Structure 1
Amino acid sequence: MRGRGRTAWAGWRVVTARRAVSVLLGLCAAVGLPAVAPAAVGGAWPGPYAFTPGARTVTGTESTAHAALLDPRHTYRSSLPRGGRLYYRLRLAAQDTAYVPVTAVPPTGTAVSATDGIRVSLRDADGTSCSYASARFGAGLSPRPVTALGQRETGKALCQGGGTYYVLVERLDAGGSGAVASAERWGLEIAPATEPGLARAGTTTPPRNWDSATPEPLGGRPRDRSGGTGFAGARPLGPGVWRTALAPGETRFYKVPLDWGRRLYASAELGSAPGHGYVGSALNLSLYNPVRGAVEDASLGYTGAAKPAALPPLPPVEYANRYAVQAAVTSVRFAGEYYLVLHLSTQLSRTFGQGPFEVTLRVRVDGQAHAGPAYAGRAVPEDLFTITGRDRAAVFTGGAGGGGGDRVMRLVAVGGIGSGTALLLFLGGWTVTSRWPGSPSRARARDRDRDRARAR
């Protein structure tokens, strides 16, 4: 019995220790204390792109005749062969603006050229192109997830009315460095969405007066937060200084909640490393809006010395921004979660080693929040252009805010529990374990009491 009791105690102690350490690390993250980034625990780094859990598999077709139907209530997973031109189908209401972001994911180790990538267009039943956009790997020559957005906007001259529309996804392949390796199929993630029209007509004049000056970079002690490996798993960030570690070839996703009237500034700094040489586009920082449309990006050349890359200043989030001419302004058109995506070039490993390399993100959010426009219906997915209290709380915890642990962390963050309290909670947990009836310390105390009674 005693052997089984000790075995049970040992197992319970290990589980309790793990939970206690997990809680302590979470508390440290909530109050800004340094902690080991989850990505580094155990020496294992997160894998390549993580597709949306539960994404439906769909096969693109070479013609519109048998194109598979996409439903904005779901996210889809597909693939694209070399030189591929694949069609998918949508049913749209006349009053809805449609967005179809397509993320292409080349296999790990794929050789690519600067002009390789994808092009996405949305077309009506007559074959008229409503829009097209492309995304390429660029000068970094590093394979990574790239996203292009097709869209159908109401109020424009082309592609009006309800009915059947087609999404065309084309793979852009150049010769040279990617000629052999790019023969493999690329993974695709497709996340269609619709935005309803307004209940009342508003201004069609984009805001003209906004401060376009670059603010002073944020200072302060960085807090550790590793990023997600896909849009669906993006880690929440709020204003502040954040730190992570990346190995060459890795891409990490974060999301920042922005209300109507708020605006975002962001920069990323690649830390120093031993070595000599130069790597162009060593670090890439990209910003995407809630429908995964590209907003802005920045990259930096690297010589081993710490260097930042900053996104250009952006206007506050306003509905009327969609009527502007500049692409970076038109894309900041609705409230929701904006995605910051970091990519570290594979080329770094040739000159500066395998890393990991420290990357510091500086995020500033300002502007006066206000109510958004009154929509005549609901967006699909429903919460796409909405910021909730759960979203705001998640920036403190780094989680989605849905689990029990996230609820505890939210209480810590919102309640302002300090590092001293966190330590007391941790030690208090160990006090409880030491008083557990089956613990060795309690067993030893009982043995001493029994021996003393016999001696008397």
Structure 2
Amino acid sequence: MGVRLGAVAVVLGTTAAVAPGQAALAAAGASGTAQSPSPYAFADDARSVKGARSTADAVVLTPGTTYKSSLPSSGKVSYSLQLDATSNAYVSVTAVPSPGSTVSVIDGLKVSVQDDDGTSCSSDVANFGAARSPHPIAAWGRREISPTKSLCRQAGTYYVTVERADPEGEGSSPDAWDLEIVAMTEPRTAKTGPTSAPEVWNSATPQPLLGKAEHRPGGAGFAGATPLDQGVWRDDIRPGETLFYEVPVDWGQQLQVTADLGSSASGGTGYTPDALDLDLYNPARGRVADVGVGYNGGQKSGSLPPLPPVDHANRYAVIGQVGAMRFAGSYYLVAHLAESVADSFGDGPFPMTLRVRVSGQPRSGPDYVGESEPKGVFAVSDEDREAAAEGVAGGDDTAMRVVAVGGIGTGSALLVGLGVWTVVARRRSTG
């Protein structure tokens, strides 16, 4: 703990004049000119693959591995999975339109999973919404082994198909979208549990958490999401920008989030529907729920709908947002401010506050037989709780992002930060 905090302090000391969380302004800090928000930050270890036009040529995705690919404006691309007859499998696809592109209200991303005989296992669609603002969106595919489902239970080859939700619709740019793809597996449980979702849970909307907000800069992608625990958190967001956070939610715990968008400092008139879009994704990056906050220049607020405590049996629910609360782990909050906000209220930044409540005592989860891929993704560890309390992903990633944001004026300052990280790495490897 002491080594980690010391390393962060040294790097933060070299960037005291930097506004955390504004990675988009790194170049602006050096040139003095305004820059557009930074694009999506793909996982550092993402492998590049090409989607196949025919399933016969589909590349096999390995669970636990992250991939980078692309989606053309028309047509489908396919990937494949080799699955056993006992594990649940999830594939999440994040689509990233190019900065400056246009999207329609109904355009978006469609992800489907089929077996080798063309039987549909699942299908999911994510749209850009009323604000028509291009930003990262994610949809997921599932192959589930369930006593309530008779299809897609055999071992063998399965296909993941990705396409535009409205490939021939008007109002969207014809450019290709970058994709980030991650496949995961969840092992079976030792005992067969209930085959229906819990019927009784506290569905009342709690009062938003109060208190003074603490600054936490958001990340630029799922892999670099900033950890949050229960509390009131503040960041500044610019039109067109998307910020990522992750909240550890254990078995039996209930998550409630309210997003506040502060009033415009520069004035202006007009109204932007769904100006602030807040999406919640589960540990498999499957969308759970969302809230859109309209904006007229004055302070506005919106809350995610009431969600049940995390429970393995939630997967049997008819309602999708209940079914998505099916496992413990890191739940992702993805906040996007529509580009069109700038037309009426300027380039900002605009103050955003997230009020995060995690209620309920953690309890033991299902008795899994085997490990998930990636390991530990459907659990909350002590390290996860520590990272959420400190706001430092993986120990030091957030501080490193602050260094990158700062556009440090002298090479020596950067070398000091890197030197500290070398010491930290050596101590960890020998500790």
Greater percentage in helix:
1
Residue 93 of structure 2 aligns to which amino acid in structure 1? V
Tell me, yes or no, if the aligned pair for 1:36 and 1:224 is still in contact at 8 Å: no
Q: Which residue of 2 aligns with 1:177?
A: 171
Tell me, yes or no, if the aligned pair for 1:270 and 1:360 is still in contact at 8 Å: yes
Q: 1:404 to 1:84 in 2, by over 3 A?
A: closer
For residues 129-208 of structure 1, what are the structure 2 equivalents within 5 Å?
129-155=120-146, 156-172=149-165, 173-178=167-172, 182-208=173-199
Q: Distance in 2 between matches of 1:135 and 1:247?
A: 23
SS at match of 2:321: helix
Q: 1:373 aligns with which of 343, 361, 366?
A: 366
Residue 196 of structure 2 aligns to which amino acid in structure 1? T
Q: Which residue of 1 aligns with 2:376?
A: 383
Residue 20 of structure 2 corresponds to residue 37 of structure 1: yes
For residues 109-148 of structure 1, what are the structure 2 equivalents within 5 Å?
109-148=100-139
Q: 2:287 aligns with which of 291, 294, 311?
A: 294
Give the greater-gyration-radius structure (CA): 1
Q: 1:399 Cα shift? A: 1.1
Q: 1:223 to 1:121 in 2, by over 3 A?
A: same
Q: Which residue of 1 aligns with 2:317?
A: 324
Residue 55 of structure 2 corresponds to residue 64 of structure 1: yes
Q: Which residue of 2 aligns with 1:412?
A: none
Residue 302 of structure 1 aligns to which amino acid in structure 2? Y
Q: Which residue of 1 aligns with 2:406?
A: none
Tell me, yes or no, if the aligned pair for 2:74 and 2:168 is still in contact at 8 Å: no
Q: Distance in 1 between matches of 2:134 and 2:280?
A: 18
Q: 1:113 to 1:194 in 2, by over 3 A?
A: same
Greater RCO, CA 8 A, separation 6+: 2
The percent identity for this pair of structures is 50
Q: 1:302 Cα shift? A: 0.9
Residue 312 of structure 2 aligns to which amino acid in structure 1? Y
Residue 107 of structure 1 aligns to which amino acid in structure 2? S
Q: Which residue of 2 aligns with 1:394?
A: 387
Q: Which residue of 2 aligns with 1:29?
A: none
Residue 381 of structure 1 aligns to which amino acid in structure 2? P
Tell me, yes or no, if the aligned pair for 1:113 and 1:174 is still in contact at 8 Å: no
Q: 1:279 to 1:174 in 2, by over 3 A?
A: farther
Q: Which residue of 1 aligns with 2:229?
A: 238
Tell me, yes or no, if the aligned pair for 1:115 and 1:174 is still in contact at 8 Å: no
- Residue deviations 1:349-388 (CA, integer Å, cap 9, x gap): 1111111111111000101210001011111101111111
Residue 294 of structure 1 aligns to which amino acid in structure 2? R
Tell me, yes or no, if the aligned pair for 2:107 and 2:169 is still in contact at 8 Å: no
Tell me, yes or no, if the aligned pair for 2:224 and 2:397 is still in contact at 8 Å: no
Q: 1:25 Cα shift? A: 8.7
Q: 1:73 Cα shift? A: 2.5
SS at match of 2:383: helix
How many positions carry a matched residue from both structures? 379
Q: Distance in 1 between matches of 2:279 and 2:157?
A: 32
For residues 247-286 of structure 1, what are the structure 2 equivalents within 5 Å?
247-273=238-264, 274-286=267-279
Q: Distance in 1 between matches of 2:169 and 2:192?
A: 49
Residue 359 of structure 2 aligns to which amino acid in structure 1? D
Q: Distance in 2 between matches of 1:258 and 1:281?
A: 27
Residue 334 of structure 2 corresponds to residue 348 of structure 1: no
Q: 2:75 aligns with which of 78, 84, 92?
A: 84
For residues 438-453 of structure 1, what are the structure 2 equivalents within 5 Å?
none
Question: Normalising by structure 1, what TM-score?
Answer: 0.80
Residue 15 of structure 2 corresponds to residue 22 of structure 1: no
Q: Distance in 1 between matches of 2:299 and 2:168?
A: 33
Q: Which residue of 2 aligns with 1:435?
A: none
Q: 1:405 Cα shift? A: 10
Residue 302 of structure 2 corresponds to residue 309 of structure 1: yes
Q: Which ranges of structure 1 fall in alignment gaps of 5 or more residues?
A: 1-15, 27-34, 407-456
Q: Distance in 1 between matches of 2:398 and 2:67?
A: 29
Q: Which residue of 1 aligns with 2:45?
A: 54
SS at match of 1:350: helix
Tell me, yes or no, if the aligned pair for 1:393 and 1:401 is still in contact at 8 Å: no
Q: Distance in 1 between matches of 2:374 and 2:161?
A: 22
Q: 1:37 Cα shift? A: 2.5
Q: 1:24 to 1:210 in 2, by over 3 A?
A: farther
- Residue deviations 1:155-175 (CA, integer Å, cap 9, x gap): 222111100000000113343
